[in-house]
Amino acid sequence: MNKILLVFGTRPEAIKMAPLVKKFKEESDLFDCKVCVTAQHREMLDQVLQWFEITPDYDLNIMRPGQDLYDITSNVMLGMRDVLKAYQPDAVLVHGDTTTSFATALAAFYQQIPVGHIEAGLRTYNLSAPFPEELNRQLTGRLAQWHFVPTSLNKNNLLSEGVDEKTIHLTGNTVIDALYWTTDKIKRQALSAGNVDANVISVLKDPSIQTILVTAHRRESFGHGFVNICEALSKLARMHEHVAIIYPVHPNPKVKEPVERYLKNIPNIHLIEPLNYQDFVYVMEAADIVLTDSGGVQEEAPSLGKPVLVMRDVTERVEALEGGTVELVGTDVTKIVDRINHYLTPENNFISKVNPYGDGKAVERIVSTFKAHFNN
């Protein structure tokens, strides 16, 4: 039996690895698949595990309030040393660009266990943005033997870096598999947005109110960037009585503190706890405009048919920019306010639904690659 270990630690990795865990578990005659969470995130990770009904086999439980990059890197390395020694997998799969992914790939390399990199090949080629994710992704790529790329542009990035074409597999992004699984489960079980605040639901259902959904957490925006974001939101809220801003606030103290200080008492700004995935999907579908710096939201957005403004100066997800479904606005107050005002005008509000990131079959392709590999 071939032993596969999937390792992840944060909310977005968990969302994107969940459908892969399910697919490997369906193939239990071929694979012994185990899940290790580092718990770089705790509550936000547990929300995802619960929704996708995944019970980890190993839990490093490393999250500490206000942890820094040294804490995460060293605790993941030490924890993974022991898990890898105990389980001795034939392959370790990591995802994307977090410090969990990079440190796990390095820990596997030290025990000469081959690594598969899911969501490989995204690049800005700017080590300051996103920070430290651009370096995490490049280093994980150097350590990996299998590169599962969402798009052909990601494949070309790796080819231009000299990666052997035989090791690159074009699969689409597993986030689309997760999104389809979620919308199906919502329909199948006739679920409503159970945990969303009643005020937020009533605002979303009120046809006289336009809604802007906001998420933000990037390290390169800490300090000045977040002050700007808050100023832009407060200006927009004061400018438009019939606009509501719905903002599930990331629990990082470097985010939560300025956001609460600047935005707490503005009546048409709803600061809420992070939403579980199904509730977030519901709010995303119901909102008129999305304003975000999230990687995952940029990938989900083109399926929504609504404007998505990205509060970053550069993005490694350029396909949707080229497709016209997302637009970069940075963290400049005037630019954010101007572009939101533009999209609040109903004739500018419709964006076509074309998703360049996947077709919902990424995990099937990834598992097939491993079937073929272990058969040879």
Q: Note the residues at the interface with ligand UD1 (CB under 6 A).
A: 10-12, 40-44, 63, 65-67, 69, 72, 97-99, 132-133, 217, 251-253
Chain contacts with ligand UDP (rule: CB under 6 A) = 11-12, 15, 215, 217, 248, 274-275, 277, 280, 294-297, 300
Two tokens at 67? Answer: 């942890």
How far is it, in rounded angstroms, from Cα 212 to Cα 205? Answer: 13
The residue among 4, 49, 9 whose CA lies nearest residue 25 is 4
Look at residue 42 and give the partner it binds from ligand UD1, ligand UDP, none, a contact being a CB closer than 5 to 8 Å depending on partner kind: ligand UD1
Q: CB of residue 233 vs ligand UDP: minimum separation in angstroms?
A: 16
Q: Is residue 250 annotated as a catalytic residue, yes or no?
A: yes
Q: CB of residue 241 vs ligand UDP: minimum separation in angstroms?
A: 26
- Identify the active-site residue in 250, 270, 312, 317: 250
Cβ neighbours of residue 244 closer than 8 Å, sequence gap 6 or more: 203, 209, 210, 211, 212, 268, 269, 270
How far is it, in rounded angstroms, from Cα 253 to Cα 218? Answer: 12
How far is it, in rounded angstroms, from Cα 18 to Cα 264? Answer: 34
How far is it, in rounded angstroms, from Cα 291 to Cα 230? Answer: 12
Q: Which is nearer to ligand UD1, 140 or 182 (CB)?
A: 140
User: Nearest-5° angle of CA 65, CA 72, CA 64?
Assistant: 15
Look at residue 215 and give the partner it binds from ligand UD1, ligand UDP, none, a contact being a CB closer than 5 to 8 Å depending on partner kind: ligand UDP
Q: Is residue 238 annotated as a catalytic residue, yes or no?
A: no
Hey, is 101 helix, strand or coil? helix
- Identify the active-site residue in 13, 59, 133, 300: 133
Look at residue 41 and give the partner it binds from ligand UDP, ligand UD1, none, a contact being a CB closer than 5 to 8 Å depending on partner kind: ligand UD1
Which helix (H) or strand (E) covers residue 310, if one does?
Answer: strand 308-310
How far is it, in rounded angstroms, from Cα 228 to Cα 159? Answer: 38
Q: Is residue 11 annotated as a catalytic residue, yes or no?
A: no
Q: Is residue 332 annotated as a catalytic residue, yes or no?
A: no
Q: Which is nearer to ligand UD1, 147 or 217 (CB)?
A: 217
Q: CB of residue 175 vs ligand UDP: minimum separation in angstroms?
A: 6
Q: Which is nearer to ligand UDP, 295 or 302 (CB)?
A: 295
Q: Which is nearer to ligand UD1, 67 or 183 (CB)?
A: 67
- Identify the active-site residue in 41, 59, 95, 97: 97
Q: Is residue 41 annotated as a catalytic residue, yes or no?
A: no
- Cβ atoms of 276 and 50 within 8 Å: the answer is yes
Cβ neighbours of residue 235 closer than 8 Å, sequence gap 6 or more: 333, 337
Look at residue 248 and give the partner it binds from ligand UD1, ligand UDP, none, a contact being a CB closer than 5 to 8 Å depending on partner kind: ligand UDP
Q: Which is nearer to ligand UD1, 66 or 267 (CB)?
A: 66
Q: CB of residue 292 vs ligand UDP: minimum separation in angstroms?
A: 7
Distances (CA, A) of 120 to 137, 153, 188, 269: 7, 11, 32, 37
- Identify the active-site residue in 42, 219, 240, 373: 219
Q: Is residue 117 annotated as a catalytic residue, yes or no?
A: no
Catalytic center residues: 97, 119, 133, 217, 219, 250
